[in-house]
């Protein structure tokens, strides 16, 4: 097992080779990885089963077990993500602009690789492949540090990816896994100044805040998702029900699932029973305001500010009846995490106000928040969803993993 400093040295050596690879070579490596994952699906599932058994024995919630689980359809989806990344335009070398200055200089800006990208994440083995594929296509080496819950899955996936690159004559040290899953290894990774160009945490609020508060290397903050669905007075109520059920129930353990429902008072008596009926087959618990409790009865638990600010990651949701669009926007901007927010309405002016005034990385009119995803946005796989406002925001695809440099052409100018 390589220690962290050896991994950092290997990654920094590999980054120079990866940065010089042409598009065809990078795509060849990604397609080889996709084929290897599908060819060794049984091996991956066996390793993953070891993690699942250990997770259940240690009391992991079913939501986290769902995030951890790999089966053949999910492995096929991960492989397809690699192929989609291969099919995307290569951002490296793209000239963003070029102009001539009064002194006769030609000055331009172009995209270049980051160098070495670190990713710290939890029980999401798919991140192991998504991150590696995006970093490789973006011309960078990566250092991956997953959680102990997904250790055997990540170790198997990384071994297959490294072997696939080596078989194609490409640098296997472009993809590196930190096998030490102790807190100490994470703390050391946060302080790899000079060896790590950027660090990206992907996981729960605790992990993200730990990295943001303790890292001395540059960090891109990905966020938790307290996402809202607001049903406006003019909403198509059947559409609203469909969007709500999809956003809450289709996969509740992910960050783009809805965690809170807001309903305009004018449609509350009509819509709330529809919403409860739609959520009931999944056993969703509702934490509601007094008006919600009055309409839906004793099955509703009383909601507190803590409930309104909570990312449940399971079959629970908070609910509030609001008097106006203004109150809905104010409530969302108070309690949201800057991730994804939805309004269901037939009123164009209301939709535009919502899209303009809600502060989030992704805002929706009449569509489920579950679409906030790099794959769905056409980016291929994603490295995470950034809820900060510097450098990158929203689903982070290839261009979010690049930097820029200025290129200056002269003919002897001096100043």
Q: Residues 29-49: pLDDT tens digits?
A: 999 999 999 999 999 999 999
Q: Which residue has the higher pLDDT, 29 or 1?
A: 29
Q: How many Cβ atoms are within 10 Å of 185's Cβ, its own excluded?
A: 16
Q: Which of 295, 244, 287 is nearest to 267 (CA)?
A: 295
Quickly state the pLDDT bin for 174 (edges 50, 70, 90): very high
Residues 85 and 129: their CA atoms lie apart, in Å, by 11
Q: What is the DSSP letter of 247?
A: H
pLDDT tens digit string along 138-159? Answer: 999 999 999 999 999 999 999 9
Whole-number pLDDT of residue 378? 77
Evaluate whether 394 touches 372 at the Cβ level (below 8 Å): yes
| pLDDT for 205 beyond 80 | no
Query: Locate tokens 């209301």: which residue?
Result: 350
Range list of β-strands (E), 207-355: 227-231, 258-264, 285-288, 301-302, 316-322, 340-344
- Helix H or strand E encompassing 108: strand 106-113
The whole-model pTM stands at 0.81
CB 263 within 8 A of CB 321: yes
Axis crossing angle, helix 125-137 with helix 23-39, rounded to the nearest 10: 160
pLDDT > 90 in the chain, percent: 82
Is 241's pLDDT higher than 70?
A: yes
Strand partners, 322: 264
* 379 vs 166, more confident: 166
Structure tokens at 384: 């995470």
pLDDT, residue 215, reads 93
Query: Rounded to whole angstroms, how far apart are CA atoms 261 and 155?
Result: 39
- Look at residue 374 and tell me whether its pLDDT is greater than 80: no
Residue 409 reports pLDDT greater than 90: yes
What digits encode the pLDDT tens for the residues 73-117?
Answer: 999 999 998 998 999 999 999 999 999 999 999 999 999 999 999
The pLDDT assigned to 376 comes to: 85
The bridge status of strand 106-113 relative to strand 95-100 is: antiparallel
204, pLDDT greater than 90: no
Alpha-helical regions (H) of 71-204 = 72-87, 125-137, 151-167, 183-189
Answer for the pair 90, 138: CB distance below 8 angstroms, yes or no: no
| Residues 312, 252 contacting (CB under 8 angstroms) | yes
Question: What is the spatial distance between Cα 397 and Cα 299, in angstroms, rounded to a whole number?
Answer: 42
Confidence label for 7 from pLDDT (cuts 50, 70 and 90): very high
Joined together, the tokens standing for residue 328 give 């809905």
The structure tokens listed for 114 are: 């980051």
Contact call for residues 49 and 104 (beta carbons, < 8 A)? no
Q: C-alpha distances in angstroms, 57 versus 60, 66, 139, 279, 412? A: 8, 15, 40, 30, 70
Smallest CA-to-CA distance from 78 within 26, 34, 45 is with: 34
């Amino acid at each position: 097992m390589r220690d962290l400093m050896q991994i950092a040295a290997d990654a920094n050596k590999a980054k120079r080779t990866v940065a010089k690879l042409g598009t065809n070579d990078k795509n060849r490596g990604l397609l080889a990885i996709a084929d290897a994952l599908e060819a060794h699906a049984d091996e991956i599932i066996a390793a993953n089963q070891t993690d699942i058994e250990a997770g259940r024995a240690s009391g992991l919630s079913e939501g986290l077990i769902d995030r951890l689980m790999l089966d053949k359809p999910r492995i096929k989806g991960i492989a397809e993500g690699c192929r989609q990344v291969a099919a995307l335009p290569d951002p490296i070398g793209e000239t963003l602009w070029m102009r001539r200055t009064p002194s006769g200089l030609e000055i331009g800006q172009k995209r270049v690789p980051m160098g070495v990208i670190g990713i710290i994440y939890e029980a999401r083995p798919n991140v192991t492949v998504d991150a590696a594929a995006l970093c490789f296509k973006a011309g960078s080496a990566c250092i991956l540090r997953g959680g102990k819950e997904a250790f055997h899955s990540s170790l198997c996936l990384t071994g297959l990816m490294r072997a696939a690159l080596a078989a194609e004559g490409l640098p296997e040290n472009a993809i590196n896994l930190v096998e030490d899953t102790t807190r100490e290894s994470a703390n050391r990774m946060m302080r790899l100044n000079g060896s790590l160009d950027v660090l990206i945490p992907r996981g729960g609020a605790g992990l993200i805040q730990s990295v943001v508060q303790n890292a001395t290397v540059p960090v891109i903050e990905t966020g938790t998702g307290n996402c809202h669905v607001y049903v406006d007075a003019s909403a198509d109520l059947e559409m609203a029900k469909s969007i709500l059920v999809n956003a809450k129930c289709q996969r509740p353990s992910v960050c783009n699932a809805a965690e809170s429902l807001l309903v305009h008072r004018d449609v509350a008596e009509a819509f709330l029973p529809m919403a409860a009926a739609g959520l009931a087959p999944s056993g969703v618990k509702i934490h509601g305001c007094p008006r919600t409790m009055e309409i839906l009865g004793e099955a509703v638990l009383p909601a507190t500010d803590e409930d309104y600010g909570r990312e449940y990651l399971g079959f629970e949701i908070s609910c509030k009846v609001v008097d106006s669009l203004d109150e809905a926007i104010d409530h969302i901007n108070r309690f949201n995490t800057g991730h994804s927010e939805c309004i269901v309405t037939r009123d164009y002016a209301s939709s535009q106000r919502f899209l303009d005034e809600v502060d989030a990385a992704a805002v929706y009119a009449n569509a489920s928040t579950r679409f906030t995803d790099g794959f769905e946005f056409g980016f291929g796989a994603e490295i995470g969803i950034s809820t900060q406002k510097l450098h990158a925001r929203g689903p982070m695809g290839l261009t979010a993993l690049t930097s820029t440099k200025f290129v200056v052409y002269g003919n002897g100018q001096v100043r």
